[in-house]
């Protein structure tokens, strides 16, 4: 049986767990990150279907309302873009019918994260 020693064990590979492991490794501490799923990211999930990625988790943030989240995004080297506010959007409701809605300005302006290729 092979054993290893580590300074820390982080349980959960969602955003908080990934960030905790990141901070610990920045301080040169050894970390084991445990995740029950076969992938990291927790609720951050954008599955692909025919080159379209559906957002199934958190992706919006408001830099003026959430400066700490905005700072975290910058520290992690992630990229954002302003939420589209004009044009039309279409979605399919749970009962199967589709709806089209017009975009509208957000106040304060919302931003979205660009989906990284791999977490």
pLDDT tens, position by position, 87-108: 998 888 878 899 999 988 888 9
pLDDT given for residue 10 in this prediction: 97
Note the pLDDT tens digit of each residue in 65-87: 989 888 888 888 888 889 888 89
Q: State yes or no: pLDDT of 51 exceeds 90.
A: no
Note the pLDDT tens digit of each residue in 6-41: 999 999 998 889 889 999 999 999 999 999 988 887
Tell me the Ramachandran region of residue 65: left when phi exceeds 0, alpha when psi lies from -120 to 50, beta otherwise: alpha
At residue 81, φ and ψ (nearest 5 deg) are: -145, 155
Q: State yes or no: pLDDT of 119 exceeds 50.
A: no
Short-list 83, 85, 86, CA closest to 110 = 83
């Amino acid at each position: 049986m092979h054993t290893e020693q580590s300074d820390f064990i982080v349980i959960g590979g969602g955003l908080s767990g990934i960030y905790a492991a990141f901070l610990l490794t920045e301080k040169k501490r050894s970390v084991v990150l445990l995740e029950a799923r076969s992938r990291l990211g927790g609720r951050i999930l954008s599955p692909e279907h025919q080159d379209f990625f559906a957002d199934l988790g958190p992706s919006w943030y408001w830099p003026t309302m959430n400066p700490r989240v905005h700072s975290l995004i910058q520290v992690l080297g992630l990229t954002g873009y302003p939420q589209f506010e004009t044009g039309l959007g279409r979605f399919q409701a749970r009962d199967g019918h589709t709806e089209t809605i017009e975009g509208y300005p957000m106040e304060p302006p919302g931003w979205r994260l660009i989906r990284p290729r791999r977490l």
